[in-house]
Amino acid sequence: MAFLELETLSKAFGTHRAVDGLTLGVEKGEFVSLLGPSGCGKTTTLQMIAGFVEPSGGAIRLEGRDLLAVKPAKRGLGIVFQSYALFPHMTVAENVSFGLEMQRVAAAECTKRVGDTLELVGLGAFAGRYPRQLSGGQQQRVALARALVIRPQILLLDEPLSNLDAKLREEMQIELRQIQRTVGTTTILVTHDQGEAMALSDRIVVMNNGRAEQIGPPHEAYERPATPFVASFLGKTNLVNGKAVRPERISFAAVGLAGTVRTRIFQGNHWLYQVDTADGLLTVIRQNTGEEMPEEGATVHLSWLAP
Amino acid sequence: MSRNGPIALLYHALFVIFMIAPIVVVVWVAFTPEGFLSFPTTHWSLRWFYAIARYPEFIAAFWQSLGLGALSSAIAVAISVPAALAIARHRFVGREAFQALFMSPLMIPNVVLGIAFLRFFTQIGLGGTFIGLVLAHIVIVLPFALRLTLASAVGLDRALEHAAVSLGASEATVLKRITLPLVLPGLVSGWALAFINSFDEVTMTVFIAGPNTATLPVRMFLYIQDNIDPLVTSVSACVIAVTVLALVALDRAYGLERLLVGRGRDGR
Amino acid sequence: MKATPYLLSLPALILFAAIVIVPLGMTVALSFHDWGQYKGIEPVFILKNWREVFTDSYYGEMFWRTFRIALAVTVLTALFGAPEAYILNRMKSPWRGFFLLVILGPLLISVVARTLGWALLFGGQGGLVNKALMGAGLIDAPLPFMFTETGMIVALTHVMMPYMVLAVWAALQRLDPQIENAAVALGAGPVTVLRRIVLPQALPGILSGGIIVFTLAASAFATPAIIGGRRLKVASTLAYDEFLNTLNWPLGAVVAVLLLVALVAIVFGANRLIERRYAQVFG
């Protein structure tokens, strides 16, 4: 039996089925991402686990116990909200210690654990500040610290990095993964960013219209997409004669499918090409090795290994 | 943002003079040493301020206005909080209608309300009583209190309460530690705005105040009906001084614009 | 359907049902009652008072005066208040905040005190302005102000001005300052920018401010009472007279109900017009 079990979990709002029979087992210490476009049901699923939305059907079990029978205040889950939801009238330290207060942890131990957790997220010096005095990235870390300090059985993250700019997001992704590895908490992340999901997770759950289209390790889902939706959602893909071919698998060769370069875009560590061929407009990605690359309008030959 | 040219600034200066001239004049006359209306230039005196002591009805009216304002505003705020929570957080049949109803005193001329209350209170035996005044003032100031408590309730991120619950807080704790502290500023300013409106109200109050329960504006108004002498200017000057102080304090604490419009001057 | 919102609204609902709806209903009923100097109010249903108000030209004149004054006040506040709001908008802080306080502050100062100031400025022989003008030899006799319609209009304009400035100010606050810059970049001169860009966007604010000013001016009491005196009556002061002096409550009730109905109709009509014209622009 898995640590957390979602069994044919469903939620309907009127006639709209937001979550439709989702079944998932999460192992202890695992990092799982719920990935999908807006409206796919990922946030609703998270809210049902947290207890803020009641399921229309199905079950949720934590270590075998029925979680739905437990009130949200008693579930012992750590939640990082998309808006961070930091208490504006409390300092960083007071925010982080709030959960421990609710658990009636002794003051001395409380101070110690708050201090340790703030160190863990790199905000040791900010304990006395108020949320409005912090940057977005710092606020996000406080939210994380607040959720982790209570030693939750599961950490729930609702699009925590979506409000950060690109560079900061990348840094936070790496940090988040490291922290999770250090602390070892079972984690469920909700995101619409496939790069983020693949970077952080042990397994990803690709969701669409309330259903899980594929559950598996990122590498597997990317290389062997179960459905066209998964193929197009994870990374870019070309459909050539009904077969899916990844852009990075196509190379410029002496012989192969003939085509003309329509667009060429430099993206730092790789080149992005759009090539007109008899089989349609193909996207090609080539790593930047410093070599000279075909220019716009050039005739090229594309070749790749059949999957 | 482009600057104002000299013509614009001249217009602005004249406009400001127009706006404050009557108020300045009242305060000025209040310092006259003469026994009649005059504009003191060489000599100033506080005699008309001391004279207020000889008119206990003004002093009584002042306390009446103070008590009436404080009480009716407090009750209005208390009633507006649950109503604001209902309107801000729930979609229910009649939501718009309720909101329109609670805001309706703004649309009904105070003179009509005064007449309606006069008739109603006389019929049920509350004519000219303090209780009647309080009830009437609650109705008048409720829209102001509600507007501000509503803004507070709407501005409160629900996620904050969810976060507290997820960390183990009970409903009572959420209310005590999260919700109330965060809506409190709105409640206080709601009370302040309600108080100021109650304190100044004369059109409706003049219909329902009895001889023993006259408020300060009513007393001033009735006095002016008979004669205009420096006494009423010194009383007015006191009222103006208190109001200005309260205004500055309110602006510092909350922002006058936010109070009157609902949004601060820098989009706060 | 959850009962929570209804339970939460209950206190306010009870208050309003008991203290607003019932009294208003009673007032309407009152307007149909009979009254005599010795018998007092007789709770019957007759049209005597309504007939009197509609046939006696005195009342028609009075209502016409009331709305005429309100209209004049509305026009004056719009004419002078809108430019001021615009000028304020272009000021830098701290001046902006300071003058906003100075202009909006009087709203919270007792209307009696403010009107008193006008009486002092222009009242008869003793009025400050009159004395100064006569002393300077510019006029022979004091400018008529007290107990004149003009005086009421001027004083009411002063009392109502902050509402107009506030409404226009609020509308201007919602504008994107870059829009003006965009027009200038496309070659528009300052007058064109004002006329074609700023004014059309400020207009909804002017109109909503106008509605507020009109209704408040039409139902104003203290200022017309003090400046207008006993001879020049408007709707509110006439109602006051009937209720507290003559004691003919039913007649006063007719005046009050008519005023309420007229104002509600005007407000709804004006709102409809504004919505229809501006709905497509401002969504």
Q: For B50-84, how does the pLDDT look when each residue is reduced to its tens digit (9 = 90+)?
A: 888 888 989 999 999 999 999 999 999 999 988 98
Q: Yes or no: say if A67 and A54 are a contact pair by the CB < 8 Å rule.
A: no
C60-282: CATH architecture: Orthogonal Bundle (1.10)
Confidence of residue B268 (pLDDT cuts 50, 70, 90): very low
Chains A and B touch (3+ CB pairs under 8 A): yes
What pLDDT, on the 0 to 100 scale, is given for residue C277? 74
Q: Per the omega criterion (within 30 degrees of 0), is the bond before C43 cis?
A: no
CA distances from C185 to B134, C190, C194, C200, C202 (A): 58, 12, 14, 19, 21
pLDDT above 90 as % of chain C = 35
Distance CA A142, CA A122 (A): 10
User: In this predicted structure, what is the pLDDT of residue C282?
Assistant: 55
Burial class (CB in 10 A: 0-12, 13-18, 19+), A297: exposed
- Rounded CA separation C225/B220 (Å): 13
Residue A275 CA: distances (Å) to CA of A244, A248, A288:
16, 13, 18
Residue B213 lies in a domain: yes
Per the CB < 8 Å rule, is A102 touching B168? Answer: yes
The CA-atom distances, in angstroms, between A240 and each of A220, A263, A302, A306, C54 are 21, 19, 12, 11, 86
- Domain of B204, CATH number, reads 1.10.3720.10
What's the mean pLDDT when you consider all of chain A?
91
> Residue A182's closest CA among A174, A171, A190, A193?
A174
Angle subtended at Cα C200 by Cα C194 and Cα C203, rounded to the nearest 5 degrees: 110
Q: Does B3 reside within a domain?
A: no
What's the pLDDT at B265? 44
Q: Which of A138-142, B40-44, C208-212, C229-233 has the lowest mean pLDDT?
A: B40-44
- Cβ C4–B86 below 8 Å, yes or no? yes
pLDDT, mean of residues C265-281: 79
Q: Could you give phi then psi for residue C166, rounded to 5 degrees? A: -60, -45
Spatial separation of the C-alpha atoms in residues B179 and C8, rounded to whole Å: 16
Could you read off the pLDDT of A98-116 as tens digits, one per residue?
999 999 999 999 999 999 9
Per the structure, how many domains does chain B have?
A: 1
Give the model's pLDDT for residue C262: 93
Least Cα separation, residue B159 to chain A (angstroms): 6
Burial group, residue A150, by CB count within 10 angstroms (0-12, 13-18, 19+) = buried
Instruction: Say if residue B227's pLDDT is above 60.
Output: yes
Neighbours of chain A (3+ CB pairs under 8 A): B
Task: State the pTM of this model.
Answer: 0.79
Distance in angstroms between the alpha carbons of the first and the last residue of chain A? 35
**Model pLDDT, residue C254:** 92
Residue A91 scores a pLDDT above 70: yes
CB A142 within 8 A of CB A134: yes
Across the strands, what pairs with A33?
A189, A204
| Extended beta strands in chain A, E state | 4-13, 16-26, 31-35, 57-62, 65-66, 77-80, 154-158, 186-191, 203-208, 211-216, 238-240, 243-245, 251-253, 257-266, 270-277, 280-287, 299-303
| Closest alpha carbon to B251 in B235, B236, B228, B268 | B268
Helix (H) or strand (E) holding C195: none
Report the alpha-carbon distance of residue B49 to residue B234 in Å, rounded.
Answer: 6
To which residue do tokens 């960013």 refer? Answer: A193
Asked if A13 contacts A48 with a C-beta cutoff of 8 angstroms, the reply is no
**Interchain contact, C256 vs B111, CB within 8 Å:** yes
Flag if A89 and B182 touch (Cβ within 8 Å).
Answer: yes
Q: What is the DSSP annotation of B6-72?
A: HHHHHHHHHHHHHHHHHHHHHHHHHT--SSSS---SS----HHHHHGGG-HHHHHHHHHHHHHHHHH
Q: Assess C173–B contact: CB distance below 8 Å, yes or no.
A: yes
What integer pLDDT is reported at residue B259 of this predicted model?
Answer: 67
- What's the pLDDT at A223? 87
- Asked if C101 and B247 count as a contact pair (C-beta separation under 8 A), the reply is yes
Indicate if the pLDDT at residue A188 is higher than 60.
Answer: yes
Closest chain C residue to the Cα of B221, Cα to Cα: C112
Q: What is the pLDDT, as a whole number, of residue C201?
A: 82
Enumerate chain B positions whose Cβ falls within 8 A of a Cβ in A: 157, 159-160, 162-170, 173, 177-178, 181-182
Say what the pLDDT of residue C165 is: 94
* Minimum mean pLDDT range among A107-111, A180-184, C133-137: C133-137
The pLDDT tens digits of the residues spanning B14-49 come to: 999 999 999 999 998 888 888 877 787 788 888 888
Cβ neighbours, 10 Å, residue B181: 14
User: Burial level of C125, CB count in 10 A (0-12/13-18/19+)?
Assistant: exposed
Give the tens place of pLDDT for each residue, B143-199: 999 988 888 888 888 899 999 999 999 989 998 999 888 888 888 888 988 998 999
The string of pLDDT tens digits covering residues C65-123 is 999 999 999 999 999 999 999 999 888 878 888 898 889 888 888 899 999 999 888 87
Across the interface, whether the CB atoms of C110 and B243 are under 8 A apart is answered yes
Q: What is the pLDDT of residue C70?
A: 96
Residue B210 resides in a domain: yes
DSSP three-state, residue B164: helix
Q: How far apart are CA C134 and CA C142, in angstroms?
A: 7
Domain boundaries, chain C: 60-282
Output the pLDDT for position C81: 94
DSSP-derived 3-state class of residue A252: strand
Q: Hey, which residues does A270 pair with through a beta bridge?
A: A287
Give residue B267's pLDDT band: very low, low, confident or very high (50, 70, 90). very low
Q: Which amino acid is at B202?
A: V
* Residue from the list A81, A89, A103 with its beta carbon closest to the beta carbon of B163: A81
What is the spatial distance between Cα A113 and Cα A106, in angstroms, rounded to a whole number? 11
Strands A251-253 and A299-303: antiparallel
Interface residues on A facing B, Cβ-Cβ cutoff 8 A: 50-52, 72-79, 81-83, 85-89, 98-99, 102-103, 146, 150
Report how far residue B113's alpha carbon sits from residue C20's, in angstroms, rounded to the nearest whole number: 8
Over 50: is that where the pLDDT of B1 sits? no
> With an 8 Å Cβ cutoff, are A99 and B168 in contact?
yes
Which pLDDT score is estimated for C196? Answer: 82
Is residue C283 pLDDT above 50, yes or no?
Answer: no
Indicate the residue of B162, B169, B181 with minimum beta-carbon distance to A102: B169
CB contact under 8 A, B248 and C26: no
Across chain B, mean pLDDT equals: 87
Residue B229 phi/psi, 5-degree rounding, is -130, 175
> Quick check: B1 contacting C, CB < 8 Å?
yes
Q: Which two tokens stand for residue C177?
A: 């300052």
Closest partner residue to A72 (CB to CB) among B159, B166, B178 is B166
Residue of C nearest to B192 (CA): C108
Residue B161 lies in a domain: yes
Give the domain range for residue B218: 55-261
- pLDDT for C40 equals 79
Range of lowest pLDDT (A124-138, C95-109, C207-221): C95-109
* ipTM here: 0.86
Q: Answer yes or no: do C16 and B101 touch at CB < 8 A.
A: yes
Question: Which chain B residue has its CA at the smallest distance from A72's CA?
Answer: B166
Check C170 against B263: CB less than 8 A apart.
Answer: yes
Which of A76, A81, A103 has the CB atom closest to B159's CB atom?
Answer: A81
Encode pLDDT of A32-90 as tens digits.
999 999 889 999 999 999 999 999 999 999 999 999 999 888 898 999 998 899 998 89
